[in-house]
Every structure is written in C-alpha cells, then in structure tokens.
Amino acid sequence: MPLGEAKTLFGPGLGGPCEYYRIPSIVTTKNGVVVACADARYCSGSDNPNRIDKVVRRSLDSGETWSDFILAVKEEGTTQKGSSAAIDPVMVYVEEINRIYMLYCHTPAGVGILNCRVGTGETKAGEKIISKGLKKYILKNGKLILKSGKKSAFRVRKNGDVYKGSTLSGNIYKRERFKEFASSFLMICHSDDDGLTWSKPKSLNSQVKTDYMSFIGPGPGCGIVLKHGEHKGRIAVPIYYGTRKTPLRLSCCVIYSDDLGKTWKLGETPNNTRTIGSKKADSKRITQSQMLTESQLIEQEDGTLKYFMRNHDKRKSVATAYSKNGGESWEDFSWNDDLPQCICQMSVIKLEGTKKASVLFLNPASREKRENGVLRLSEDDGETFTSSITLKKGPFVYSAMTQMPNGKIGILYEPDLECREIDFVSIDLNEIKKGE
C-alpha cells in the first residue's frame, strides 16, 4: 500500500490521562505546527454521559514526532453517570490572527444526546441558569443571583464547585444539589500559540442555540475559513442539533463568524430548504429517515460552499448541498450515489497549491457497516472523485485530514470499533492520483 506507516497518536500507554480515545480533529498552522485533538474518555469508550476531556498533541516536523499530551479542556467527575463531558471536537485555524478555535459539546452529568432538554440553559446575555430544587439562580461573575435579582451567599468556582463561605455545597457540572441545565452547550475555546495552551471555554448557546433546540454539537472534524468572494474571511463551522428529546430528530447547519470569532450566527439547515416529495422540509417535523447529522464542508473556487452530510436515508449515500451565501442557506440538495455511507462521519478538505481544484474525501466506504476507509481525490472542486486508494481495510470509523508543511496529507482516524485508539498516517498526493 502506498502509505507511510500508521502510528497510534492517542491510545492507552502513551502518557495520556485515560484508556479510551475517540473523535479526531487536526489542523496545521502557518508556523508549520500540526495540531491534533481527540476526546479523552475516562470511564469507557461510550459517548456522554461519561467523563470526557479534550487532549491535544503537537508535531513540529509534519507528523514524524509528537509532543506529550496537552490537556486542553478539563471536565468534572469520576463516574459514568456522575461526570460532565466535552465531546466531539471541531478545530478551525484562522491564519489572519494565528488562532486555533476548538468547538465541542459540553453536557453536565447524566446528560447525553438522547435526553437533552429543550432550551439554551442561559440568559440572553449568556449567563448560566442554575437550579436548586424549585429555586432558579443566574451565575454571574462567579456568584449565584436569584432570578428576582437578590444576591445569594453562594459562589461558584471555575471547576463548578459551589461554596457558601468555606462550606462545599455541591458542583453544578456534576449536578449535586445545584444543577446546570440538563442539556447540551456548544462551547468554544482557542489557542494563540499553536495548540500549546488553551483559553477558558465559553458557551455559544445564547448566540446560536434557539429555544426549540435540545441537543447541539459540532461537526465533528474541522471547520474552514472562506478565501473567496464577498464572504472572504468568514469562519464557517458545521454543527448539528435536535428539536426534541426523543425520538431523535436531528438536522445539520453551519454557524459562522464575520469578526474573527468574536460573535457567531446560526445558518439555515438544508432540512428547512430542501423538498421531500412535493413539500418543503421542516427540521421540527422531519422523520428519522430524513435526519441530516454530522457534516463537513469545503469552499469551491467561486466562493460556493459544498456540504457533505451523514444521513439516515435508506439509500445509504452521502447527501450534498450548496450555499451561495457563505453557509447562511442551502440549495440543490441531492444524493451522491458514488459516495456510499453507513451512517457515519466523513472528512473532506480542499487542498491548496495544486494546479487543479483538488478535494480529498475520506469515509468508511460501505453501506453495510463501518469498514474500509477509502480516500478519494477530486480534481474538479469536489464534483467528481476519479482516483481513490484504500487507507485501511476492515473496521474504520471517524477521521480528519490536514495539509502539512512537507506537502503531504496528514490523516487522523479511528482504526477500529474499540474506542481506544486514534492513528495517524501521512500520504503523498501523487500516490492518491495513481489510484489502486
């Protein structure tokens, strides 16, 4: 196989904080640093509820060697049901300010995608709403204030511990007496030193989550910065959301920022612009088979965005759509039967510095199960994929890709269904062009 040797980047016994790792994201900075991120899952390899942190490793030599683990986001708790989670990373690198943004989904203890309450859990100003029995508080500047405006004697530390004087009264993230809203929060943090250190995370719920949404989470994978047209400089990050607890009804869309990540807006979902039969779809009323979930996107040469979407349709093909307004809305929804999918995440990147408009697409290329990671090359801006190689036969799950300083493509992927390892491999573009 025309590939470099795969190495395990996140896994047991490598110096990380736990035994289980999932969900890769990877970017390259203008300083030549490759930054890889993953979920560190403590109690098991399962999704939330679980104790899940964010860990990062860095490479200064295009993936030849890697740094020790860096704890970028720390959650609270020690048990499966009693811990908070930071799940599913999307990183996006903004060259103009040399900043990496990391977005992820935070949930308090006992909460996962299947039982998120509808609502933002915040005031319009972005202050957390905390409950204790029937009492409601607003968390402001580390203090709990009753919704009436009356101050309380309770203070909340950065880790969520609640104190009255010197007495510990529980933890809001572990939902002990004082409880964070039992839903999901779309979080963001950043690094200005090529992934070495990370800012304190903040929630975007008050900006992009609506009152009818239950679950909200990113990508996962990578976001992009637009390089062409009237929206040049816009940061676009794929997310998806639910509109009820159960049964799940999920739709994907893009959130975007036109001020280098200071503020964010919510774009329309293709599930509000496509037609199903003769009727316009509605993300609040879709059926399970009409769900659009984890997604990735590219920008084409004329500034058009092309969307690639995991979905639950019985044809088991990747769904696509286009945006002429930088991800604000979508048109020309269709299915690409040349891109099979088994209801699993996919990764896609637009390459720079190539003679032709080159796009790489990677996913488990099966309609049956999560297996056979096939890497495909398009030289017509992601419209057709004419060359391909098999990255890995057998089990293959989530992935992320980046273009590295040495010109090769760095690929981070889950090599099996054990939820323990994430592997890294690099490949030369010319090898992909040769095909199999």
Residue 100 parent element (H or E): strand 99-107
Catalytic: which of 47, 75, 194, 431?
47
Q: What are phi and psi of 312, to 5 degrees?
A: -110, 15
Q: How many CB atoms lie within 10 A of CB 12?
A: 12
Residue 206 parent element (H or E): helix 205-208
Catalytic: which of 75, 161, 194, 294?
294
Contacts of 17 (CB under 8 A, 6+ apart): 40, 42, 53, 55, 69, 71
Residue 432 parent element (H or E): helix 429-434
Residue 259 catalytic? Answer: no
Residue 61 catalytic? Answer: no
Q: What is the rounded CA–CA span in Å between residue 167 and residue 175?
A: 17
Q: What is the rounded CA–CA span in Å between residue 196 and residue 173?
A: 26
3-state SS class at 97: helix
Query: What one-character-per-residue DSSP string does 307-348 give?
Result: EEEEE--TT-EEEEEEESSTTSS-EEEEEEEEEE-SS---EE
Instruction: Please tell me what DSSP assigns to residue 415.
Output: -
Q: Tell the residue number behind the tokens 């560190």, with chain if given.
A: 40
Q: What is the rounded CA–CA span in Å between residue 170 and residue 400?
A: 38
Tally of CA atoms within 13 A in the half-sphere of 426 that contains its CB? 17
Q: Tell the residue number behind the tokens 């994430």, with chain if given.
A: 422
User: Any idea what the Cα angle at residue 417 is, between residues 416 and 423, rounded to 5°?
Assistant: 35
Contact indicator for 372, 394 with CB cutoff of 8 Å: yes
Contacts of 349 (CB under 8 A, 6+ apart): 222, 298, 359, 360, 401, 402, 403, 409
Write the CA distances from 80 to 77, 173, 198, integer angstroms: 8, 13, 26
Instruction: Please tell me what DSSP assigns to residue 127.
Output: P
What is the signed CA dihedral for 139, 143, 146, 151, rounded to 10 degrees?
-160
Q: How many residues does the chain have?
A: 436
Which one, of 49, 52, 100, lies nearest residue 237 by Cα? 100
Instruction: Please tell me what DSSP assigns to residue 122.
Output: B
3-state SS class at 173: coil
Active site amino acids: 47, 294
